Chains A and B, each alone.
Chain A
Amino acid sequence: MRFVLTTRYAQDVALFRHNGQRFWYGLLAIALLVAPWLMTNFYVGEAAMVFIWAIAGVGVMLLVGYTGLVSLGHAAFLAIGAYTHAALLRYGVPLPLALLLATGAAAAAGALVGYAALRMTGVYLAVATLAFERIVAYLVEHGGALTGGVRGVAMTQPQWFGISVIHSHFFYYLCLGVLALCIFGAVNLLRSPTGRAFVAVRDSEVCAESMGVHLARTKTVAFALSAALTGLAGALMAHKIGHLVPEAFGVNVSIQLLLLVVVGGLGSLHGVVFGAIFVGFLPQILALARDQLAAFGVDRVPGLEVGAYGAILVLFLIFEPLGVYGRWLKIRAWFDEFPLYRKATYKKQKSYLRTERVH
């Protein structure tokens, strides 16, 4: 077990707590930078997709994992980002500006939904956001030339210094860079008053308010930020999809995003990465499973994939509510404390009676 001697308060807000972390994260960075040169183009593309999932995952995590607001409508923000990005590129807006504007459009939509849903939490909020997702889906289907309706719209793939955006290596580094920036921003938020306000709202609204946290503003900001990151992921995803159709942003994408944060581990940014790897490679795993099921003749059952998503979500909620990252913490604690590890350390504590809600 490592004990860090803290001699300055600034150490507590440092990005890396000790040299061990510096070493491992440095190694990870190098590995990620050289990886595309060691993989086939197919896997470079799949890795980029994992990064995109992770970008959206950071957004969903900020909202669901840190602010405690459940959303089933994040596919809508993905769609808003993607379609805005596509339209802007069609009109010749340069790629970085188009990405920024797409992010901004999603953020604006997020702020609007967040503000409208201020008084809702839990299931009610989930249903309200689901309704928002259906509204956006309807608008996309009837968007005329802007969205191409149900027939969809082809994505403009601009050139960048003579390289197409979707050149596998270029796209890999683009997504990796954007993801790194997003994680950096999220870490910054979480070590400053804004992030603490999110967590305060999640754990006790009454208390947050009595500590001077502006509930309405905090929730709206959380929604806007979450939508912005999801929109950014949507814009990048649009390049990957190539031809945008409404089905690409259905409810099951919202569920996949929720699956991502739950499987990864609610309330941790590490969890986002684990979750993104899981969700990114799940289609391949399911395709393999489908091949196996063919032997029993049940591989053509409709809704097999959505069913699998739901089943995994439920299994995680029952057996490992802290997700993959929570399991990793437990394994690490086991080695740290060997042979004194106590299972009860991670048992849910008896919670004392809570103050009645006053709103």
Chain B
Amino acid sequence: MLFEARDLSIRFGGVHAVRDVSFAIEEGEVFSIIGPNGAGKTTVFNLISRFYDPDGGTLAFRGEDITSTPAHHVAELGIARTFQNTELFERETVLANLLIGRHVHRRTNLLKDLLFLPAARRQEVAFREKVEEVIDLLHLQSHRRALVGSLPYGARKMVEIARALCTEPRLLLLDEPSSGLNPEETEDLAFWIEDIVADLGVTIVMVEHDMNLVATVSNRVLAMADGSVLATGEPAAIQSHPEVLRAYLGGTDEPPPAVAEAAP
């Protein structure tokens, strides 16, 4: 098991944003989190990234408890993420944006940087080589020296995924990777995600609204509503799960007909 969240809870004032959410992620799978707006999906991501301290529950990554690991240490452990609305350094080039992804692998200190000793120079070249591998993988060659601020939104999304990959993560968190992309770009994204899993052996957790994309790439899906887990299981089973349908489409007050629990 690569990652496990157990009984995760957090409150913001009177809002119980996430309550008793538990899930486990196996190495090499694509795990999607779906749910209507305000279900607490991004909050779960922020909990995993350690931006929020959970009020209850534990997080474990590769058997190690990370419930109180500082946020800046999470990337070093091997968890990288992207953001819903992209958080790029817009006045910098794509290259500069990707190089910050190598920050967790820095071996130089302030003094070596200040004097740009041979070690710092070698490190920069090694960083570039790694960045170029990611550029090759995601076909970003044409944007290499472009300012991020001048790129179309779809390209920015890819740059952000590329930057996360530059940290060489074991677990990649994608927060709505297809939002703002056109259908064609979304289709490409499905291929990239499959490539990332197959070529780099990275495990992916994504929050996503596009059910087509979710059904195409996910091994398992977790559906949330109002901060709680509705169901976990295969994409097809989740899509026809009555609780999930009710959360998305609304329903009558009468209790849903009893159905077999979706396969875990």
Contact = CB atoms under 8 A, between A and B. Distances in A.
Interface in B133-183: 149-150, 153, 156, 163, 167
Given A211-B100, A349-B149, A352-B86, A193 B72 contact: no
Interface stretch (B17-25, B30-38, B110-118, B250-258): B110-118
Contact of A192 (B116, B149, B153): B116
Contact of A200 (B85, B89, B112): B89
Contact of B72 (A9, A191, A214, A221): A214
Given A192-B124, A199-B92, A206 B113 contact: no
Given A196-B100, A210-B74, A213-B72, A352 B85 contact: yes
Interface SS of A by simple majority: helix
Interface SS of B by simple majority: helix
Contacts of B95: 12
Given A207-B88, A349-B90, A352-B153, A188 B110 contact: no
Contacts of B52: 358
B99 interface: yes
Given A188-B114, A196-B100, A200-B89, A355 B84 contact: yes
A210 B88 contact: no
Contacts of B60: none
Contacts, number: 125
B51 A211 contact: no
Contact of A203 (B46, B90, B102, B129): B90
Interface of A: 9-10, 12-13, 185, 188-189, 191-197, 199-200, 203-204, 206-215, 221, 267, 349, 351-355, 358-359
Interface string B73-86: 11110001101111
Given A193-B106, A200-B89, A204-B89, A210 B113 contact: no
Given A203-B92, A352-B86, A353-B85, A211 B104 contact: yes
Contacts of B108: 192-193
A94 to B, nearest CB: 23
Contact of B71 (A194, A204, A210): A210
A206 B87 contact: yes
A203 B85 contact: no
The 10 closest A-B pairs by CB, nearest first: A212-B75, A207-B87, A212-B104, A192-B113, A188-B116, A9-B128, A203-B89, A193-B106, A358-B51, A194-B113
Contact of B124 (A191, A212, A351): A191
B84 to A, nearest CB: 6
B37 to A, nearest CB: 14
Nearest to A203: B89
Given A192-B116, A203-B89, A352-B153, A212 B51 contact: no
